[in-house]
Amino acid sequence: MTQLYNKVALIGLGLIAGSMALAMRRAGLAGEIVGHARSAETRATALDIGLVDAVFETAAEAVEGADLVVLCVPVGVMGTVAQEIAPHLAQGATVSDVGSVKKAIIDAVQPHMPDHVHFIPAHPLAGTEHSGPRAGFADLFQNRWCLFTPLPETDRASIERLQKLWSAMGANVEEMDAAHHDLVLAVTSHTPHLIAYTMVGVADDLQRVANKEVIDFSAAGFRDFTRIAASDPTMWRDVFLNNKEATLEILGRFTEELFDLQRAIRRGDGEQLFDHFTRTRAIRRSIIDAGQDTAAPDFGRGPKEGD
């Protein structure tokens, strides 16, 4: 594969940055990959396990001379990091991010970007409940979507170059408006995470069900909730604080539907329950048909992972 960037600087060296570094290396997409993370420990690990060629104590030093800078830090610190690196960005550099919300990041980052760089917000729809530099793996983005939310005035050639990078890392690329992205993700990711966090919290609070029973007899439904609810607390706090409007809108609808089903159970309305479950089963089928999940009963995890 052809090299697309001479020097890539990854700011934040966790799951997403680590996976990008490994995928870029495997396909020979970058001449040099450097990075910065907040703690000395993460920087040392990233260097040690060969994610990056060099690490720097500050983000400002890391971006010097880079033709691609990717912000891979929690959503809530994107703006601060952007402000710090701004005076050090190379002429013509592309600055991107991988944050899970887009409108709030554009508002926080764009005002700091000098005219001589191209800011291109993006979000790979790929992740696990693990975090940190050791959590990354080269196949994370394989057959997953990477959504771009570029501003209308952004240079097309720079957008297409970055899209080539994501395609070469295995992702399918699509463009959409940032507000639309935030609404779509509120439905497909953010609200489901909140529901999982709630359900696991409820089971934990339920004194009538001994803790041991919840763990020993945890059936597929609850087990899958616990996996989602084990996701990084910093990341998810920032997601909800920064996608407030869309999440509240979807939560409102969720609550109404939940009351509807609750009423159906109370009334013994089997027909309503059956119709509802038939509709949702078809949605599951279409996700599998689109290649976004596996039909295996254990979600294809196998005996090693997740159990």
Choice between 154 and 189, CB closer to ligand NAP: 189
Under the binding rule (CB under 6 A), the answer on residue 81 touching ligand NAP is: yes
Under the binding rule (CB under 6 A), the answer on residue 98 touching ligand NAP is: yes
Choice between 176 and 285, CB closer to ligand NAP: 176
CB of 114 to ligand NAP, least distance (A): 20
CB of 197 to ligand NAP, least distance (A): 14
The sign of the CA dihedral 142, 143, 145, 148 is positive
Encoded tokens for 88? 């050090």
Under the binding rule (CB under 6 A), the answer on residue 192 touching ligand NAP is: no
Give the contact letters, 12-41, x = binds to ligand NAP (CB under 6 A), - = no. xxxxxx-------------------xxx--
Under the binding rule (CB under 6 A), the answer on residue 122 touching ligand NAP is: no
Hey, which residues does 122 pair with through a beta bridge? 148
Under the binding rule (CB under 6 A), the answer on residue 74 touching ligand NAP is: yes
Under the binding rule (CB under 6 A), the answer on residue 75 touching ligand NAP is: yes
Choice between 42 and 226, CB closer to ligand NAP: 42
Give the contact letters, 211-250, x = binds to ligand NAP (CB under 6 A), - = no. ---------------------x--x---------------
Encoded tokens for 6? 């001479």
Which one among 30, 62, 96, 99 touches ligand NAP, defined by CB under 6 A?
Answer: 99
Q: How far is residue 290 from each of residues 144, 250, 283, 285, 287, measured CA to CA in Å?
A: 11, 24, 11, 9, 5
Choice between 176 and 214, CB closer to ligand NAP: 176
Stretch that binds ligand NAP, among 69-77, 141-149, 206-214, 221-229 (CB under 6 A): 69-77
* Among 190, 205, 297, CA closest to 254: 190
CA atoms within 13 A on the CB side of 75: 25
Under the binding rule (CB under 6 A), the answer on residue 134 touching ligand NAP is: no
Encoded tokens for 173? 């690329």
CB of 19 to ligand NAP, least distance (A): 8
Element (H, E) at 222: helix 220-228
Residue with tokens 């995928």: 23
Encoded tokens for 298? 């254990």
CA atoms of 194 and 197, how far apart (whole Å): 5
Q: Which amino acid is at 262?
A: Q
CA-atom Rg of the chain in angstroms = 21
CB of 174 to ligand NAP, least distance (A): 15
CB of 41 to ligand NAP, least distance (A): 7
* Among 106, 104, 148, CA closest to 125: 148
Choice between 231 and 272, CB closer to ligand NAP: 231
Beta carbons of 102 and 71 less than 8 angstroms apart: no
Q: What angle, rounded to 10 degrees, do the helices at 191-205 and 233-242 form?
A: 130
The sign of the CA dihedral 242, 244, 250, 251 is positive
Total residues at interface with ligand NAP (CB under 6 A): 27
Choice between 7 and 193, CB closer to ligand NAP: 193
**Chain residues that interact with ligand NAP, rule: CB under 6 A:** 12-17, 37-39, 42, 72-75, 77, 81, 98-100, 123-124, 127, 131-132, 135, 232, 235
